[in-house]
Structure formats: structure tokens, C-alpha cells
Amino acid sequence: MMNRPLLALCLLLPCLALAQTPRTVIVFGDSITAGGALPKEQREKLWVKLVEKESAGALILINEGKGGRPTASVNEFAEMLKRQPKTDALVIALGMNDSRDVTPGCVPKAVKNVRAMIDKAREAYGKALPVLLVGPTNINQSALGPTKPIGDQREANLRALGDALAKLATETGSEFVSLFDVVPDASLMKDGVHPDAVGNEAMAHVMAVKMRGWLKTRAE
């Protein structure tokens, strides 16, 4: 007959294994997710990598970022779903490139596109798939390049996109986190848009806290 301490250990092992099993999270985003604007020697400071490192093995983040990507990349998103047949959760971090559209349709089109992505993801991974929508980061208008003349409109669009994505998250049973005003102006001196290493660290802090609470709640 198995002694009690050994029996207790056997009963505990499955729980320990479950607690130590990392959760896979796809991060679908633009260049701020891809990290191509960071110098090669600073790529380890990319916010995606910092969040994964901070999780101490609890998270595996699959970086599906691509430079220049707008929310209109629904077909690219569908192709990504084929490349990634399995995930525990999804993060959608888009909107910065949409902000260059200064027509009245900017925000409604973005919301429609992101809603389509959520629908496609839950068709692929199950209706209960946890989804986190990330409101776009702020810009530094003084450092903008070609879009400097429309800096005011871009900033207004970024704020409106964040508000609209927060509402969409509620409507779709998703979560939302805003990165607007998270990145210091001094970290956006390269081109007004892409955060430096310090800016990525600021983003990572907010994202790590949010993802920790988000996924813990979903697991309970």
C-alpha cells in the first residue's frame, strides 16, 4: 500500500505541472511590435521580449509584428492563423499606421477590421479565446518626419482609436490596455513614432502587469 507522503506527492504533481506549463500568446502588431526600428544591439529590449522575460517562463510570446502594418491587414491575419495552428491567447496591437488616415473613416474602418480579426481568431482557436486589444502608443509631434504637417490629426486619431478599441473590447468580451502617454517624448526622438529602448521598457511594464492579471483571471 502506498504511504501517505508518497500518495500526497503523486496527487500534487499534476497540479505542479499545470502551474509550470507556459501559456503561448500570439502578438499581432506593426513595427512597434516587430522592433525593427531598434538598433540591433538593443533588440533584446523590445517590449515583447521584456514581457516574456518578466514572466519567468509563464509566457511564450510569438511575435507576429510587421513594419507598416495597418488594421486593414485582415488577409495577413488570416494567413497568420494558418501559420500558428495553436495558441492560448491573442494580443492585437495595431492602429499607429491607421492614424495617418485623416479622413472621417479612419476609426470606423479600423474597428471593423479588428472586429473581423477577433471573429477569425475565435473561429480558428475557439470561442473562448482570450483576446487583448492594445490601444496605440503616443507620438512626439516635434520629431515626426513626413507626417509632421498632420501631427495634430494623427494624435487625435490615436486617441480616438484607443477609445474605439476599448469599446470594441467590451462588445466582444475581450480585454483592453492603452499605451497612449506611456512612452516618454524623449524616447520618441528617432522619428516621433518608434520608441527607443527606454520607451520599450515603459511599454513592457504596463503590458506585463496587464497580461499577468488578464491571464490569471482567465485561468481561474
Domains of the chain (ranges; CATH) run: 21-219 (3.40.50.1110)
pLDDT score at 219:
67
Q: How confident is the model at residue 8 (pLDDT cuts 50, 70, 90)?
A: very low
pLDDT score at 216:
80
Q: What percent of the chain has pLDDT over 90?
A: 87
Spatial strand order of the sheet with 23-29 comes to 59-65, 23-29, 89-93, 131-135, 175-178
The pTM for the full model equals 0.90
Q: Is the pLDDT of residue 130 over 60?
A: yes
Q: Is the pLDDT of residue 39 over 50?
A: yes
Which contacts qualify for 164-167: CB closer than 8 Å, 24 or more apart? 164/107, 164/110, 164/111, 165/95, 165/110, 165/111, 165/114, 165/133, 165/134, 165/135, 166/133, 166/135
Distance CA 72, CA 117 (A): 10
